[in-house]
Amino acid sequence: MTSSVPPTRSADNPIRVGVLGARGRMGAEVCAAVEAADDLEVVAMVDSGDWTFDLADAGAEVVVDFTHPDVVMENLRFCVDHDINAVVGTSGFDAAKLDTVRQWLEPKPELGVLVAPNFALGAVLSMRFAQLAAKYYDTVEIIELHHNRKADAPSGTGAHTAGLIAQARAAAGLGVVPDATTSELDGARGASVDGVRVHSVRLGGLVAHQEVLFGGEGETLTIRHDSLDRKSFMPGVLHGVRAILDHSGLVVGLENLLDL
């Protein structure tokens, strides 16, 4: 990804980054990517059981959080209380949690928090494409496929995509997605997220994948994205770290920091 944020900092004065979940699959990758960037430096690596006050003591300007849906709100509260900007990849955000973060940020106009369901450029683009296609098709379903160590289902990306499609359908005056099923085994039709069915596959060997399937008269459209390596998320994470310093308040979705 080419950054639309011109580097404002240099190796002499790098952006000081703290990483939460630093020993996890994503956190370890983030530490390596930040260390490899000339204009960024890791000043704190924090994982479960470590003391979070390291972040404030280390003078972190931006915290990157890839932890767990159950702890991310507590981490964000800490960051806001200590005037640290945040770039959050951890999943599990619903409208209520996002509203809470907005409220925390109200008295802190100088602070920015980015919550991004997916940092991979292709995933961001595929969500945009799905948003564009939504009004043209009566029926739509999402299949998200991930590694079997993932804590949550559906994925944050799947839920976010469903929300974007639902908004586009509503704006176009489309009603509920037609479905004639009258008899089903529990779970057979997936979870309904904002009226869109999301099916979650968990399989060893996978990283992160998603298909959005649209169906109309005599045709289907499938929009598929595959993250084959966690490196796919890194350009987006670094872009978010650089860009959030120039933003205030809550930004939901990397697309809002890109020129899409």
Ligand X SMILES: O=C(O)C1=N[C@H](C(=O)O)C[C@H](O)C1
Which residues participate in the annotated binding site for (S)-2,3,4,5-tetrahydrodipicolinate? Answer: 147, 156-157
Nearest distance from C-beta of residue 2 to ligand NDP, angstroms: 19
Q: Please tell me the distance from the alpha carbon of residue 163 to that of residue 184, in angstroms, as a whole number.
A: 24
* DSSP designation for 2: -
- How far does CA 79 lie from the centroid of its chain? 18
Listing from the earlier edge strand, what are the strands of the sheet with 15-20? 40-46, 15-20, 62-65, 85-88, 112-115, 249-252
* Share in percent of the chain as helix, strand, coil (round to 5): 35, 25, 40
Does residue 128 interact with ligand X by CB under 6 A? Answer: no
What minimum distance in Å lies between the beta carbon of 42 and ligand X?
21
Residue 135 is among the residues annotated as catalytic for this protein: no
Site residues (vs ligand NDP, CB under 6 A)? 20-21, 23-27, 46-48, 66-69, 71, 75, 89-91, 116-119, 156, 233
Give catalytic status of residue 239 as yes or no: no
Chain-centroid distance, C-alpha 211: 17
Catalytic residue among 146, 160, 209, 239: 146
CB of 204 to ligand NDP, least distance (A): 14
Q: Which is nearer to ligand NDP, 174 or 232 (CB)?
A: 232
67 interface partner picked from ligand NDP, ligand X, none, CB below 5 to 8 A per type:
ligand NDP
189 CB contacts (<8 Å, ≥6 apart)?
A: 179, 181, 197
- Residues at the contact surface with ligand X, assessed by CB under 6 A: 91, 117-118, 146, 150, 155-157, 208
Catalytic residues: 146, 150
